[in-house]
Amino acid sequence: MRWGRGILLIASFMLLIGVTVLAAGTPAGTQIVNQATATYVDQNGVSQTTASNEVITEVSQVCGLTIVPNGTETSPGQLQEAAPGSTVYFSYTLTNTGNGQDTYKLELVNSSSDDFDPDSGAVYLDANGNGLVDPGEPQLTTGFGAYGSASPTVAADGQIKLIVAYHIPATVTDGQITKVNLVGQSQACTSHPVDDDNWNQTTVTEDANVTATKSATPMSVSPGDTITYTISGSNTGNKAAKSVVVTYDGSSHTGILITDVIPAHTSLAAASWSGAPASGFALFSTDNGSTWSATAPGDLITVTNIAWFIPDPHSGDTTKEDTLDPGQGYSFTFQVSVATDAPAGIIPNTATVNWADSTGTDKTTDTNEADVAVNGSYSVFVGPHGNPEASGPTDQNDDYTDAGTQAAGSWVSFTNTVENAGNVADTLNITMQSYPTDWQVLLYKSDGITPLADTNGDGIPDVGQLKSGTTADFVVKVFIPYGTAADSDGSTTVHDTVVRVTSAGNATKYNETIDRVTDIVAAGVDLSNNPYNEGTVTNTTDPGTCTNFPLLVINTGGAPDTFALAVSAGLPTNWTATFYADSNLDGAADTATPITSIGPLGGAVLTSDVSSSATLSVSNTNYLAVGDTVRIGSTNYTITAVDTGAKTITINTTITASAGTVVGEVGGAIAEVCVPSNQGPGDTDITFQATSKNDPSKSDTITDRVTVNAVAGVSLNPDRSGTGSPGGTVVYEHTLCNTGNQDDVFDLSYTSDWGWTYTFTDTSGNTIQTVSVAAGSCVELNVTAFIPSDAAVDQLDVATITATGEAHGATDTAQDVTRVVQGLLKLEKSVSPTGDQAPGTVLTYTTSYKNLGNAAITNVVIYDAVPAYTTYASGSAGGTVPAGQLLYSYSTDGGITWSAWSTSSPAASGITNLRWGLDLNSDGSIDGSDALASGASGTVSFKVRINN
Site residues, another protein (CB under 8 A): 25-26, 30, 32-43, 48-60, 62, 99, 430-432, 435, 437-455, 459-461, 464-465, 473, 479, 481
Nearer to another protein, 21 or 276 (CB): 21
Choose among 750, 754, 720, 732: nearest CA to 811: 750
CB of residue 911 vs another protein: minimum separation in angstroms? 54
CB of residue 20 vs another protein: minimum separation in angstroms? 15
Nearer to another protein, 186 or 455 (CB): 455
Q: Find all residues with CB under 8 Å of 487, minimum gap 6, and list them.
A: 493, 495, 519, 520
CB of residue 563 vs another protein: minimum separation in angstroms? 18
User: Contact 671/577 with Cβ under 8 angstroms?
Assistant: yes
Nearer to another protein, 44 or 573 (CB): 44
CB of residue 165 vs another protein: minimum separation in angstroms? 36
Q: CA-CA distance, 383 to 360, in Å (whole number)?
A: 67
Secondary structure in 3-state letters for 243-288: CEEEEECCEEEEEEEEEEECCCCEEECCCCCEEECCCCEEEEECCC
Q: CA-CA distance, 336 to 347, in Å (whole number)?
A: 11
Nearer to another protein, 34 or 171 (CB): 34
Asked if residue 696 has a cis previous peptide bond (ω within 30° of 0), the answer is no
CB of residue 398 vs another protein: minimum separation in angstroms? 20
Choose among 442, 515, 439: nearest CA to 483: 439
Burial 323-334 (b: 16+ CB within 10 A, else e): bbebeeebbbbb
CB of residue 467 vs another protein: minimum separation in angstroms? 12
Nearer to another protein, 314 or 467 (CB): 467
Q: CA-CA distance, 396 to 385, in Å (whole number)?
A: 14
Which amino acid, residue 400? Y
Q: CA-CA distance, 675 to 656, in Å (whole number)?
A: 47
| Rg of the chain over all Cα atoms, to the nearest angstrom | 59
Asked if residue 277 has a cis previous peptide bond (ω within 30° of 0), the answer is yes
CB of residue 434 vs another protein: minimum separation in angstroms? 11
Nearer to another protein, 39 or 904 (CB): 39
CB of residue 222 vs another protein: minimum separation in angstroms? 27
Nearer to another protein, 481 or 681 (CB): 481
Nearer to another protein, 40 or 840 (CB): 40
Choose among 294, 256, 261: nearest CA to 277: 256
CB of residue 186 vs another protein: minimum separation in angstroms? 15
User: Contact 509/379 with Cβ under 8 angstroms?
Assistant: yes
Q: CA-CA distance, 453 to 463, in Å (whole number)?
A: 8
Nearer to another protein, 59 or 779 (CB): 59
CB of residue 28 vs another protein: minimum separation in angstroms? 9
Q: CA-CA distance, 242 to 767, in Å (whole number)?
A: 163
Nearer to another protein, 320 or 516 (CB): 516
3 state SS of 930:
coil
CB of residue 413 vs another protein: minimum separation in angstroms? 13
Cβ-based neighbour number of residue 51 at 10 Å: 12
Long-range contacts of 172-175 (CB under 8 A, 24+ apart): 172/84, 172/115, 172/116, 172/204, 173/84, 173/204, 173/206, 174/204, 174/205, 174/206, 174/207, 175/203, 175/204, 175/205
Burial 707-725 (b: 16+ CB within 10 A, else e): ebeebbbbbbeeebeebbb
Going by the DSSP 8-state scheme, the letter that residue 300 receives in this structure is G
CB of residue 685 vs another protein: minimum separation in angstroms? 38
Q: CA-CA distance, 114 to 882, in Å (whole number)?
A: 164
Q: Sort 126 into a burial class: Cβ within 10 Å, 0-12 / 13-18 / 19+.
A: buried
Nearer to another protein, 206 or 454 (CB): 454
Q: Find all residues with CB under 8 Å of 436, minimum gap 6, and list them.
A: 495, 496, 497
CB of residue 71 vs another protein: minimum separation in angstroms? 29
Nearer to another protein, 349 or 455 (CB): 455
CB of residue 40 vs another protein: minimum separation in angstroms? 4
Nearer to another protein, 58 or 287 (CB): 58
Q: CA-CA distance, 420 to 471, in Å (whole number)?
A: 6
CB of residue 384 vs another protein: minimum separation in angstroms? 17
Choose among 784, 785, 781: nearest CA to 770: 781
Name residue 335's beta-bridge partners. Answer: 228
| Phi-psi category of residue 924: left, alpha or beta, with phi > 0 → left and psi -120 to 50 → alpha | left
Cβ-based neighbour number of residue 104 at 10 Å: 26
Nearer to another protein, 155 or 730 (CB): 155
Nearer to another protein, 471 or 556 (CB): 471
CB of residue 576 vs another protein: minimum separation in angstroms? 33
Nearer to another protein, 42 or 836 (CB): 42
Nearer to another protein, 58 or 893 (CB): 58
Nearer to another protein, 448 or 718 (CB): 448
3 state SS of 325:
coil
Q: Find all residues with CB under 8 Å of 854, minimum gap 6, and list them.
A: 822, 823, 934
3 state SS of 491:
helix
Going by the DSSP 8-state scheme, the letter that residue 71 receives in this structure is B
CB of residue 287 vs another protein: minimum separation in angstroms? 34
3 state SS of 68:
strand
CB of residue 445 vs another protein: minimum separation in angstroms? 6
Q: CA-CA distance, 635 to 207, in Å (whole number)?
A: 105
